[in-house]
Structure 1
Amino acid sequence: MKAVQLNATDGPSSLALADVEAPAAEPGTVLIDVAYAGVTFPELLQSRGQYQMQPPLPYTMGSEVAGTVREVGEGVTDFAVGDRVLGVAGTGGYAEIMAVPAASVLPLPETVSLQAGAGMPMNLLTADFALHVRGNLEAGQSVLIHGAAGGLGSALVQVALAYGAEVVAVVSTEEKAETVTNLGAQHVVFADGFKTEVKEIFPHGVDLVADPVGGDRFTDSLRCLTTFGTLLVLGFTAGQIPEVKVNRLLLNNISVAGVGWGAALAGRPEMVAQQWESLWPHLSAGILNPSIHAVLPMQEAGKALEIIDSRSVRGKVLLDVNGDENDPAASAR
């Protein structure tokens, strides 16, 4: 089968299309005929050898896909050949066929196209884990979201809104402001001087800050929190890992919480299905609908990572592996 493999850690140019052996349907696994694969920021880091999970080279990249079930392994009873599904795994997504543990295979609502579905699993599940599990978000609370127009940021906006929150979206350009406004964010502020604008909207501060950016925004994000508020650390796309003076936490009764969805999942494989069940009503209703920035052919996976690296992304970047224009859900969208 065709697959995109990482052959070195020199960046996106290290990716190349290759002929590799197709995976087998081992017990407890599902083989998926991949239609579309999602492209994520951690994969950009992997291409440079900068990510905490770095398999031996060469390997097939890609952590999330949408497609149809090709074959099920022994012991798998929840899925059948032909089912429209999403799959999440550490590697193997940039390929015509992906093997996924059954616990990490998710059904796709009939109203959601395979293309849209490929933009959902990693970002929606991370956003749900951040806001619902780590942030204990309640309806009526306020959430400040950095990098709000990106793949993860836009998912955070949509999940927060679905759970009844009031969202302040932080963006860097007018185009990104338009993107998050279209997603439904009630307030949009620009990254430069965001603290002042947030304080004008919420003089007493916000309940949660979701930050996948890090860098020099961190201290001002803490200053945006209300009493008992929490800053959720989702990543460091700015490149700099900030440090916190813990006296700020003590004096202001605020918290900083790490959001490591993948690490939490490692010992709790059942968590994926539980989260998906929680999100299902919103998915079926079309409330959680990813904004697609670009769809590139699989052989241009390196270019897809370069687009993510440009910081210009508004929504999700996908690879078309074997997309089906006749996908029955596509016409319903």
Structure 2
Amino acid sequence: MRAFQVTSHDTPPAVQEVPTPEPKKGEIRVRIRACALNFGDLLMMKGTYQATPPLPFILGMEVAGEVESLGPDTKGPAVGSKVLVFGGQGGLAEFGCYPAESAVPLPDSMTFEEAAAFPVAYGTSHVALDYRARLQEGENLLVLGAAGGVGLTAVEIGKLMGANVIACARGAEKLEVAKKMGADHLIDAGSEDIRDAVKALGGADVVYDPVGGDQFKAAFRACRPEARLLPIGFASGDIPQIPANHLLVKNLTVMGLYWGGYMAFKPQVILNSMRTLFGWHAEGKIKPHISHVLPLEQAGEAYELMRTRKSTGKVVVTVE
């Protein structure tokens, strides 16, 4: 089968012919139709992601497709049924084998492309804002990286939860995308002082941060007393250090969020979240923003769109 495979952390991945995997007991084999890209994939290429697999490996965390076969003595979705799977890797290929219990039936309201773009971005934002931060109606929610894959869903979900959403992104084009998803206020990270702009709006009650670096530091200084800060990732490449004495003075709370970690120690959090999110999608309350859809042969170009910040929302690769 064709697969976009990493064979070295020093050379670019490429589409190669590799053996088609056989499902083991407890697994299903999925005919993959769409795979969404994530910032973590770029870190995997370099070997710096917290869950980088041993070489060689196939990129692609979240996939949608049809169940093609079941492993021996395996109960699972029927052959031919459409499923969504968060597998962590292996999605940029024609076929992938995954634990049967990790497959979620695809709602009728979703296309393969929408489904692939759904779990990480929406799951991260919903668990972060609802389960972790307990975002309340009327609170000021500051979203950094607001036009990115997870940031844009935080804008959308925050607005749906009744927050006053302050979207921070670089450039008018990206800010316009955030505005369309429900942002109440816009801050251009490339030309405005984030701290001053947020304080002028009354300060932040909740900070959603997939960026890190100087933007986190500015947002930290713009927090209201008892604010909650959510480090989601570090797209800037800079992991900020947090002065504990400032936490004390303002009674601030910093709460990390690694969405995939809940699959290992508290999967019910993710299952409950997905149930809510699927319901919202079926009701037309949320809809994935996909800026680019490219075929498997152009997976390298798809990642370049993410790396150079030329995409908004999600980038999806289709597998024919």
- TM-score, normalised to structure 2, is 0.94
The one-letter code of the counterpart of 2:6 is: L
Counterpart among 68, 71, 79 of residue 70 in structure 1:
68
Following TM superposition, by how much is the alpha carbon of 1:163 offset from its aligned partner in structure 2, in angstroms? 2.3
- Looking at structure 1, the residues matched to 270 and 32 of structure 2 have their Cα atoms a distance apart, in angstroms, of 20
Cα distance in 2 for partners of 1:112, 1:223 equals 40
Alpha carbons of structure 1 residues 28 and 269: separation in structure 2 relative to 1, 3 Å: farther
Q: CA shift at 1:244, angstroms?
A: 0.9
Q: 2:210 aligns with which of 212, 229, 234?
A: 212
Distance 1:61 1:207 in 2: 36
Q: CA deviation at 1:185?
A: 1.3
2:302 aligned residue (304, 308, 314):
304
In structure 1, stretches of 5+ residues that fail to align are 323-333
Q: Secondary structure at the match of 2:255?
A: strand
Separation in structure 1 between the aligned mates of residue 21 and residue 267 of structure 2, nearest angstrom:
21
Deviations 1:110-133 (A, max 9, x none): 122111111111111111221112
Give, in angstroms, the shift of residue 249 of structure 1. 0.4
**Paired residue type of 1:164:** G
8 Å contact from structure 2 (residues 120, 259) kept in 1 = no
Once the two structures are TM-superposed, the CA of residue 46 in structure 1 deviates from its matched residue by: 0.9
Q: Identify if the C-alpha distance between structure 1 residues 70 and 320 changes in structure 2 by more than 3 Å, giving closer, same or farther.
A: same
Q: CA deviation at 1:36?
A: 0.8
Contact 2:206 2:227 in 1 (8 A): yes
- Please report how far the alpha carbon of residue 75 of structure 1 lies from its aligned counterpart in structure 2 after TM superposition: 4.1
Letter in 2 for 1:8: S
- Indicate the structure whose relative CO is greater, using CA pairs within 8 Å and at least 6 residues apart: 1
What do you get for the CA RMSD once the two structures are aligned?
Answer: 1.6
For residues 199 and 288 of structure 2, the distance between their equivalents in structure 1, rounded to whole angstroms, comes to 29
CA spacing shift, 1:103–1:141, aligned 2, 3 Å: farther
Matched, 1:110 2:108: yes
Aligned to 2:114, the other structure's residue is in SS state helix
Aligned residue among 214, 218, 221 for 1:223: 221
1:33/1:96 contact within 8 Å kept = yes
Question: 1:81: how far off?
Answer: 2.1
Q: Deviations over 1:134-162 (max 9, x none)?
A: 21223332211000001111111122223
C-alpha deviation, 1:270, in angstroms:
4.0
Return closer, same or farther for 1:20/1:269 CA change in 2, 3 Å cut-off: farther
Provide, for residues 219-268 of structure 1, a one-character-per-residue CA deviation record: whole Å limited to 9, x for no partner: 22112222211110001100111101111100011111111112232223
Shift of 1:170: 0.4
User: 3-state DSSP class of the match of 1:137?
Assistant: coil
Counterpart in the other structure of 2:273: 275
Give the letter for the 2:199 counterpart: K
Q: Distance in 1 between matches of 2:270 and 2:25?
A: 19
Cα deviation per residue 1:184-224 (whole Å; 9 max; x = unaligned)? 112211113122222222x2x22210000001122221122
Cα contact 1:158–1:287 (8 A) shared by 2: no
**In 1, distance between residues paired with 2:103 and 2:119?**
10
The code of the aligned residue for 1:149 comes to: A
Partner of 1:87: 85
Q: Which residue number corresponds to residue 7 of structure 1?
A: 7
Q: Distance in 1 between matches of 2:247 and 2:91?
A: 40
Counterparts of 1:24-35 in structure 2 under 5 Å? Answer: 24-35=22-33
Deviating beyond 4 angstroms after TM superposition, the runs of 4 or more aligned structure 1 residues are none
8 Å contact 1:2–1:18 — kept in the other structure?
yes
Identity %: 36
Equivalent residue runs for 1:40-51 within 5 Å: 40-51=38-49
Q: 1:188 pairs with 186, 189, 211, which one?
A: 186
Q: What one-letter code is carried by the residue in structure 2 that aligns with 1:109?
A: P
